Structure 1
Amino acid sequence: MAPELILYRGKITTLDPEHPEVRAIAMEGGKIVAVGDDREVRGLADSKTVEIDLNLRRVIPGLNDSHLHVIRAGLFFNLELRWDGVPSLSLALEQLKQQAERTPPPQWVRVIGGWNEFQFAEGRLPTLEELNTAAPETPVFLLHLYDSAMLNQAALRALGFNRSTPNPPGGLIARDTQGNPTGLLIAEPSALILYSTIANAPKLSLEDQINSTRHYLRELNRFGVTSVCDAGGGGQNYPDDYEVVSKLHQAGHLTVRVAYSLFAQKPGSELADYTRWLDITKPGSGDALLKVNGAGENLVWSAADFENFLQPRPDLRPTMESELEGVVRKLAENQWPWRIHATYDESIGRFLDLFEKVHRDHPIDKLQWFIDHAETVTPQNLERIAKLGGGIAIQHRMAYQGEYYIRRYGVESAKRRPPLRQMMKMGLPIGAGTDGTRVASYHPWTCLWWMVTSKTVGGTVLCDEADRLTREEALRLYTEGSAWFSREQGKKGRLAIGALADLAVLSDDYFAVDDDQIRGLESVLTVVDGRVVYANDEFAKHSPPLPPVSPDWSPITKWGGYDNSRPVPPVRAHQPILGADGRVWQTSCGCGM
Structure 2
Amino acid sequence: MPTMPVGGLIARAVDDAADVIVRNAKIYTGDSSRPHAGALAIRDGRVTVVGDDAEVAPFMGPATTVVDALGRRVVPGLNDAHLHVIRGGLNYVLELRWDGVTSLRQGLAMLREQAARTPKGQWVRVVGGWSAEQFAERRLPTPAELNAAAPDTPVFVLHLYQSAIMNRAALQAVGYTKDTPDPKGGQIVRGRNGEPNGMLLAAPSALILYSTLAKAPLLEGEDKKTSTRHFLRELNRFGLTSAIDAAGGFQNFPDNYGTVTELARDGQLSLRIAYHLFPQTPGQELDDLRRWIEMVRPEDGDEWLRLNGAGENLTWAAADFENFAEPRPELSGDYETEFEKAVRLLMEHGWGFRLHATYDETIRRDLAVFEKLAAEGLFPAGNRWLFDHAETVSRDSLDRIAALGGAMSVQNRMSFQGEVFTRRYGPGAAAEAPPVRAMLERGLTVGAGTDATRVSSYNPWVALHWLISGRTLGGLAIRPPQNRVDRETALAMYTRAGAALTGEEDVKGILRPGFFGDLAVLSDDYFTVPEQDIPHIESLLTVVGGRIVHAAAEYEGLDEELPPISPTWSPVAHFGGYQTSPRTGLPGVRQAELLGEAVAESEQHRQWRARRGLAPETASTPFDPCFVL
Q: Shorter-chain TM-score category?
A: over 0.9
| Cross-structure match for 1:446 | 462
Quick check: which has more Rg, 1 or 2? 2
Q: Aligned runs of 1:133-148 on 2, under 5 Å? A: 133-148=148-163
For the pair 1:414 / 2:418, whether they are aligned, the reply is: no
- Which of 29, 42, 64 does residue 44 from structure 2 map onto? 29
Q: Which amino acid aligns with 2:211?
A: S
Aligned to 1:117: 132
- Alignment partner of 1:395 out of 403, 407, 411: 411
Task: Show the counterpart of 1:502.
Answer: 518
TM-fit CA distance, 1:169: 3.3
Alignment correspondent of 2:420: 404
RMSD between superposed Cα atoms in Å: 1.3
**2:600 is aligned with 1:550:** no
2:540 is paired with a residue whose SS is strand
Q: Deviations over 1:15-69 (max 9, x none)?
A: 1111111000111111111100111112222222221111111000000000000
Q: Does 1:517 align with 2:533?
A: yes
1:245-297 deviation per Cα after TM superposition (whole angstroms, max 9, x unaligned): 01111121100000000011000000000000000000000001001110000
Local SS of the residue matching 2:54: helix
CA distance, structure 2, for counterparts of residue 41 and residue 73 of structure 1: 39
TM (norm. structure 1) is 0.95
Supply the AA of the counterpart residue of 1:389: G
Task: Output the CA distance in 2 between the equivalents of 1:242 and 1:509.
Answer: 36
Aligned residue in 1 for 2:361: 346
Aligned residues: 572
Other-structure match for 1:297: 312
Map of 2:293 onto structure 1 = 278
Quick one: distance in 2 between partners of 1:523 and 1:284?
A: 29
Aligned residue in 2 for 1:202:
217
* 1:533-554 residue CA offsets vs partner (Å, 9 max, x unmatched): 1111111131211111100000
Inter-partner Cα distance in structure 1 for 2:141 and 2:583: 21
Which aligned pairs between 1:482-497 and structure 2 lie closer than 5 A? 482-497=498-513
- Write the distance in 2 (CA, Å) between the matches of 1:259 and 1:490: 16
Q: Which runs of 5+ in 2 are unaligned?
A: 1-15, 589-629
Alpha-carbon distance in 1 for matches of 2:445, 2:355: 15
Asked if the contact 1:458–1:570 (Cα under 8 Å) also holds between the matched residues in 2, the reply is: no
Q: Distance in 2 between matches of 1:10 and 1:387?
A: 42
Q: State the distance in 2 between where 1:115 and 1:395 align.
A: 15
Residue of structure 1 equivalent to 2:401 = 385
**CA displacement at 1:127 relative to structure 2:** 1.1
Aligned CA distance change for structure 1 residues 95 and 211 (closer, same or farther; 3 Å): same
- Per the alignment, residue 471 of structure 2 pairs with 455
Q: Does 2:488 correspond to 1:472?
A: yes
Hey, which bits of structure 1, 4+ residues long, moved more than 4 A? 567-572
Equivalent pair of 2:162/2:323 in contact (CA under 8 Å): yes
- Deviation, structure 1 residue 567: 5.1
Q: Residues of 2 paired with 1:442 and 1:170: CA distance?
A: 27
Could you give the per-residue CA deviations for residues 280-320 of structure 1, whole angstroms, max 9, x where no partner exists?
A: 00000000100111000011111111011101001111121
Deviation at residue 136 of structure 1 after TM alignment: 0.6
Residues 395, 156 of structure 1: alpha-carbon distance in 2 compared, 3 angstrom cutoff: same
Equivalence for 1:373: 389
Equivalences for residues 564-579 of structure 1 within 5 A: 564-566=580-582, 568=584
Quick one: which of 529, 536, 539 aligns to 2:555? 539
The yes-or-no answer on 1:356 pairing with 2:371 is yes
1:467-508 per-position Cα deviation (integer Å, ceiling 9, x unaligned): 221111110100001111111112111101111111100011
Distance (Å, rounded) in 2 between the aligned partners of 1:90 and 1:570? 24
Match runs of 1:149-168 below 5 Å = 149-168=164-183
Amino acid at match of 2:206: A
Q: How does 1:184-195 map to 2 (within 5 A)?
A: 184-195=199-210
* Cα distance in structure 2, aligned partners of 1:6 and 1:102: 44
Structure 2 equivalent of residue 577 of structure 1: none
- 8 Å CA contact 1:9–1:38 kept in 2: the answer is yes
Q: Give the match's secondary structure for 1:284.
A: coil
- Counterpart Cα distance in 1 of 2:491 and 2:257: 30
For each residue in 1:362-392, what CA deviation from the matched residue of structure 2 results, as whole angstroms up to 9, or x when unmatched? 1306312000001110000000000111000
Amino acid corresponding to residue 181 of structure 1 in structure 2:
P
Indicate conservation of the 8 Å contact 2:523/2:539, yes or no: yes
Paired residue for 2:575, among 528, 538, 559? Answer: 559
Amino acid at match of 1:387: A
In structure 1, distance between residues paired with 2:122 and 2:95:
11
Letter in 1 for 2:523: S
1:233 to 2:248 alignment: yes
For 1:412 and 1:326, the matched residues in 2 are separated by: 37
8 Å contact kept, 1:365–1:390: no
Contact 1:365–1:388 (Cα < 8 Å) also in 2: no
Residue equivalent to 2:7: none
CA contact under 8 A between 1:141 and 1:198: conserved in structure 2?
Answer: yes
* Range 557-566 or range 430-439, more displaced: 557-566
1: CA distance, partners of 2:493 / 2:584:
23
Q: Please give the alpha-carbon distance, in whole angstroms, between the structure 2 residues aligned to 1:193 and 1:347.
A: 22
Unaligned runs of 5+ residues in structure 1 are 573-593
SS state at 2:557 partner: helix
The one-letter code matched in structure 1 to 2:409 is: A
Secondary structure in 1 aligned to 2:248?
A: coil
8 A Cα contact 2:370 2:379, kept in partner: no
State which of 320, 325, 328 in structure 1 corresponds to 2:343.
Answer: 328
For the 8 Å contact 2:204–2:323, the answer to whether it is kept is no
The CA deviation at 1:569 is 9.9
| Partner residue, 1:104 | 119
Matched residue, 1:481 = 497
Q: CA deviation at 1:208?
A: 0.8
The aligned counterpart of 2:260 is 245
**How far apart are the structure 2 equivalents of 1:237 and 1:464?**
40
Contact 1:119/1:569 (CA < 8 Å) preserved in 2? no
**1:196-243 C-alpha deviation (Å, 9 max, x unpaired):** 111111111121111100000000000000000000021111111111
Inter-partner Cα distance in structure 1 for 2:334 and 2:311: 19
**CA gap 1:198/1:515 in 2 versus in 1, 3 angstroms:** same
